[in-house]
Copies of this chain bind each other. A is one copy, B any other.
Amino acid sequence: MVNVAIMGHGVVGSGVAEVLLKNSELIAKKAKNEIRIKHILDLRDFPEIPYSDLFTKDFNDIISDDDVKVVAEVMGGLHPAYEFTKQCLMAGKSVVTSNKELVATYGAELLALAEENNVNYLFEASVGGGIPVLRPIAQCLAANDLYEVEGILNGTTNFILTRMISDGMSFEDALKMAQDLGYAEKDPTADIEGHDACRKICILAALAFGKHVYPNSVYTEGITKITSADAAYADFADCAIKLIGHAKLLDDGKCTVAVYPAFVSRKNQLAHVNDVFNAITVKGDAIGNAMFYGPGAGKLPTASAVVADIIDCVKHLHARKYLSWDDCDADYIADHRKDTVRMYVRLGYTGERPAVIESITSLFGQIKVLGRQGEPSDELAFITPFASEEAIFSQLGTLKNCQVLSTLRMLD
């Protein structure tokens, strides 16, 4: 029998307890060992819960208990999760987590600490909720030289964008609906401003390319500026709008990483990922591309990933070593504005439409003009040919009698 502790009894933590208790027999078979929850750390009281005797408010009960071999850190936030995780690893306990903020910020350090202490630090649940993605990248695609990862990494924003495109809702109404359904927090900033997706693409890039990517080095744009007009033009262009986390390894060894909403062609699998689902596409020299799809959040899906990591730790109490990456140099992240892209542009203009289109065409070459129902006579939307994002913005700046209302990257 192996004893485990759970730190945090919120949505994910209670799900971890539920899955471990409900599927205990099946899990014992898979882990070749019985798994027992010995402590649950939470500052709140849960008197009504059948397993209320397991609760403690004191981290020392866990760290000083030599019987506890595996700790699930599902408390979230940087502190005290960081300090608790370090202490557990140094005490020879493996740690599994769903805490993307912690992994994205201190992952390289914590992985090194785990290796030093010959224990595991696993975090499948930190990206894509229940979707198996980190272990498959690290193990199943191990023969590949991976060069690109991109995906829909945040369920809340994907729900909002799906409602805007499919049901014609405004951003505000869709956000309200997400909050009413419990998909969005009261303070939705981390989701709608892209910070959550940013942490996840940092973890994916680190795992795929072997070097830590710090969230504060990543250009991050949320979805708050997307309007119903943009959604209508997207539909006209046979695209969906999705919040994309994107990371690509360049020929010079640097990496471009960014989070932004994009027009995604319906020929791309990612365009069909709707509601709170997430999906991650990985590209490598042998595999071509593979995609992983599933519920990106939620109590039981996320618990499913945390418990899978617990099982892995129980089967291999010493370091598995398939997850690891190095710290990065200061100049590792390249300027994403140098990326070669096509862009959707929505302009307000004064003057004659044909003359405006002609001046745009003379700047960019052939553009694809879009339309929408109820399009105002002083609005023009189009898709540029390929160029660097920087060049496109600089050319847009030279347009006379035009005001740029929206710009979004295209993803084919």
Q: What does the 1/0 interface line of A334-370 toward B look like (CB < 8 Å)?
A: 0000000000000000000000000000000000000
Q: In this assembly, does A321 line the interface, its C-beta being within 8 Å of a C-beta of chain B?
A: yes
- Residues from chain B with Cβ under 8 Å of A300 in the complex: 285-288
Q: Are the C-beta atoms of B304 and A144 separated by less than 8 Å?
A: yes
Q: Which residue of B lies closest to A15 (CB)?
A: B286
Q: Are the C-beta atoms of B288 and A143 separated by less than 8 Å?
A: no
Q: In this assembly, does A290 line the interface, its C-beta being within 8 Å of a C-beta of chain B?
A: yes
Q: Are the C-beta atoms of B145 and A23 separated by less than 8 Å?
A: yes
Q: In this assembly, does A113 line the interface, its C-beta being within 8 Å of a C-beta of chain B?
A: no
Q: Are the C-beta atoms of A140 and B286 separated by less than 8 Å?
A: no
CA of A145 to CA of B269, assembled, Å: 28
Q: In this assembly, does A76 line the interface, its C-beta being within 8 Å of a C-beta of chain B?
A: no
Q: In this assembly, does A176 line the interface, its C-beta being within 8 Å of a C-beta of chain B?
A: no
Q: What does the 1/0 interface line of A275-295 toward B look like (CB < 8 Å)?
A: 000000000111111111111
Residue in B27, B145, B301, B307 whose beta carbon sits within 8 Å of that of A288 in the complex: B301
- Residues from chain B with Cβ under 8 Å of A26 in the complex: 145
Once A269-B272, A293-B269, A293-B293 are accepted as A-B contacts, the answer to whether A288 and B141 lie under 8 Å apart by CB is: no
Of A32, A131, A142, A273, which is in contact with the most chain B CB atoms at under 10 Å from its CB? A142
Q: Are the C-beta atoms of A130 and B303 separated by less than 8 Å?
A: no
- Residues from chain B with Cβ under 8 Å of A44 in the complex: none
Q: In this assembly, does A168 line the interface, its C-beta being within 8 Å of a C-beta of chain B?
A: no
A332 to B: closest C-beta gap in Å? 18
CA of A288 to CA of B293, assembled, Å: 11
A96 to B: closest C-beta gap in Å? 11
A1 to B: closest C-beta gap in Å? 17
Q: In this assembly, does A305 line the interface, its C-beta being within 8 Å of a C-beta of chain B?
A: yes
How many copies of the shown chain assemble into the complex?
A: 2
Q: What does the 1/0 interface line of A257-272 toward B look like (CB < 8 Å)?
A: 0000000000001001
Q: In this assembly, does A201 line the interface, its C-beta being within 8 Å of a C-beta of chain B?
A: no
Residue in B30, B130, B143, B312 whose beta carbon sits within 8 Å of that of A286 in the complex: B130
Once A23-B285, A142-B30, A304-B141 are accepted as A-B contacts, the answer to whether A292 and B290 lie under 8 Å apart by CB is: yes
CA of A292 to CA of B287, assembled, Å: 13
CA of A281 to CA of B96, assembled, Å: 26
Q: Are the C-beta atoms of B301 and A294 separated by less than 8 Å?
A: no
A211 to B: closest C-beta gap in Å? 13
A135 to B: closest C-beta gap in Å? 5
Residue in B19, B23, B288 whose beta carbon sits within 8 Å of that of A130 in the complex: B288
Q: Are the C-beta atoms of A143 and B289 separated by less than 8 Å?
A: no
Q: Which residue of B lies closest to A20 (CB)?
A: B143
Q: Are the C-beta atoms of B142 and A27 separated by less than 8 Å?
A: yes
Q: In this assembly, does A68 line the interface, its C-beta being within 8 Å of a C-beta of chain B?
A: no
Q: Are the C-beta atoms of A294 and B304 separated by less than 8 Å?
A: no
Q: Which residue of B lies closest to A27 (CB)?
A: B143
Of A286, A301, A307, which is in contact with the most chain B CB atoms at under 10 Å from its CB? A286
Q: Which residue of B lies closest to A293 (CB)?
A: B291
- Residues from chain B with Cβ under 8 Å of A303 in the complex: 143, 286
CA of A19 to CA of B130, assembled, Å: 31
Q: Which residue of B lies closest to A266 (CB)?
A: B272
Q: Which residue of B lies closest to A304 (CB)?
A: B286
A289 to B: closest C-beta gap in Å? 7
Closest 10 interchain pairs by CB?
A: A132-B140, A143-B307, A290-B294, A286-B304, A132-B136, A291-B293, A286-B300, A30-B142, A130-B287, A287-B304
Q: Which residues of A contact B (CB under 8 A)?
A: 15, 19-20, 22-23, 26-27, 30-32, 124, 130-132, 135-136, 139-145, 269, 272-273, 284-295, 298, 300-301, 303-305, 307-308, 310-312, 315, 321-322
Ordered by A's residue number, 6 sampled pairs between the chains whose C-beta atoms are within 8 Å are: A132-B141, A135-B135, A286-B307, A288-B294, A290-B293, A292-B292
